Structure 1
């Protein structure tokens, strides 16, 4: 069998400190790989997602990406979007427009922008993609309480399914501590979430004014594999959208801590650009593994 070697990186996303964010495997020059091969590699890396970089088919895009979990392909996901952008630039490739990137994926074109000056530790952010919002019927509130084993759900902020390419059931808790204390019945939660087309829970609650961030977030997956995701761009985009729609925005910008119960310290920055009508989801990323991978 003849093998070929292509560039491979493993990056940690939503952190500037190795092993504290959400890891992503990135395979470069993946144009000759078919879906089955990509899925096999994603199962082998055994990370929450593996991204495959390909030549774009849309002239407006800097690159194209296909995103796989160990179970299947996703049309869009947040931490692979930021991680792929970091890997693309870290490999020495240049953006068509300085300070801007356009990612082509199954969900369409995703815009990314550099936040801050390069010499001051600039981070990148993606513009939250369009989403559909489906309110959870009040008849399901009891089932939601039982699934979360919590009486701290803030139903004044109506729980909703938000699908921006990765469908989440967004639920507000009374406090950050209530988020950290959740003890999930995954099977029961899957039944509730599926009713609004969601494949996981995005739970959030506010920290005190002097806390480590504006909100604490936890993301519990019920679809393609059950378990907790360390730091989640798509879910934070869903939360940010719902905060705006429910008139609960804490300001023009806010911060999130995620991954705490997993021993991580993910940090997400959300900025509302009202002039452009965009919500930017940003954070740091760092390369942890840089080398090559052998492909058949």
Structure 2
């Protein structure tokens, strides 16, 4: 029985410095694989997400992207979208449009703009739901904090669904030690996980963010695009900043230095992005 090779890259996202962001494995020949093979590969690689680049079914798209955690397929995720676009453009894709590429995924069509060395995705239209006071109490207990420290709590669907919580400042965000067993029981079916954020007190960034997704096989995501997207929705909705762009940092607790830039456009869109760097390029060997 002969083996088959499929090309792949590993891209570090939301960083200029290799190994300081959030890696995503990008498999370039997704059309050659079944869904079960994709899930098996994602589970084996065991990054927070692995993506598979496929031929688009929509003529407006440049490619179709399937996104897998170690446990499940996701309709959308932020850092895999940025990292995959970087890998595809680096591989020589000529998009239909001069200044952006169009990704087809489970959440529909997503535009990714190239601005210098950075890539920015257009966040899918968010859907917001309240989190009950009893749920807030449970989340606080799982995070090991007093529920009075939770200033805002909403469930935000930006393609991926996040319970999203604001704390008073960055320090309690970096200090929390979540009980993952408790958190996994609290997070409802269909919800990716919990994202926590707080304003910083330095002159470099505006917010510190952490994202937890134990039910997806990822206790803590180093730098989470969709989690930051849910944060951006709350920042915009609650007028938490008086400018049309901001910088969030994430990953400090895991030895990373992720930097996520967010822009609020005049036409009411949210753009989210940053840098990406290629770290690994090669082949996956599959049984024939």
- Greater displacement, 68-77 / 243-252: 243-252
Q: Which residue of 2 aligns with 1:18?
A: 18
Cα deviations by residue, 1:126-150 (Å, 9 ceiling, x for unpaired): 0111222111112333322211111
**SS of the residue aligned with 1:31?**
helix
Asked if 2 retains the 8 angstrom alpha-carbon contact of 1:190 and 1:199, the reply is no
CA distance in 1, matches of 2:159, 2:18: 28
The residue that corresponds to 1:124 in the other structure is 119
Give the alignment's TM-score, normalised by structure 2. Answer: 0.94
Once superposed, what is the RMSD of the aligned Cα atoms? Answer: 1.7
The 8 Å contact of residues 153 and 174 in structure 1, kept in 2 or not, is answered as no
After superposition, what is the alpha-carbon deviation per residue over 1:36-78, rounded to whole angstroms, capped at 9, x for unaligned? Answer: 1111111221211111001111010011111111112111111
CA distance in 2, matches of 1:209, 1:149: 25
Q: Give 2:262's aligned residue.
A: 270
Hey, what's the Cα distance between the residues in 2 that align with 1:183 and 1:153?
Answer: 17
Q: Which residue of 2 aligns with 1:208?
A: 201
Asked if 1:161 is matched to 2:152, the reply is no
CA 1:188/1:293 → structure 2, altered by over 3 Å: closer, same or farther?
closer
1:143-192 deviations in Å (ceiling 9; x for gaps): 222111113754443x0111222111110111111100001122333344
Contact 1:14 1:268 in 2 (8 A): yes
Answer yes or no: is the 8 Å Cα contact 1:163–1:238 preserved in 2: yes
Where do 1:45-60 residues align within 5 Å?
A: 45-60=45-60
- Note if 1:170 corresponds to 2:164: yes
Secondary structure of the equivalent of 2:216?
A: coil
Q: Does the aligned pair in 2 maintain the 1:128–1:278 contact within 8 Å?
A: yes
Shift of 1:204: 0.4
Q: CA deviation at 1:225?
A: 1.8
Residue deviations 1:210-247 (CA, integer Å, cap 9, x gap):
2x311010001132125100000001111101111222
What is the number of equivalent residue pairs in this alignment? 287
| Ranges in structure 2 where 5+ consecutive residues have no aligned partner | none
Moved more, 134-143 or 37-46: 134-143
Partner of 1:71: 71
Listed as ranges, the matches of 1:78-93 within 5 Å are 78-93=78-93
* CA shift in 2, pair 1:153/1:238, >3 Å: farther
Number of the residue aligned with 2:145: 150
Query: What corresponds to 1:185 in structure 2?
Result: 179
What's the CA shift for 1:290? 1.3
Contact 2:53 2:65 in 1 (8 A): yes
Distance 2:282 2:142 in 1: 43
The 3 A distance-change label for structure 1 pair 57 and 207 is same
Contact 2:157 2:230 in 1 (8 A): yes
- 2:47 and 2:141 map into 1 onto residues whose CA distance is 30
Q: Counterpart of 2:40 in 1: which secondary structure?
A: helix
State the secondary structure of the residue aligned to 1:269: strand
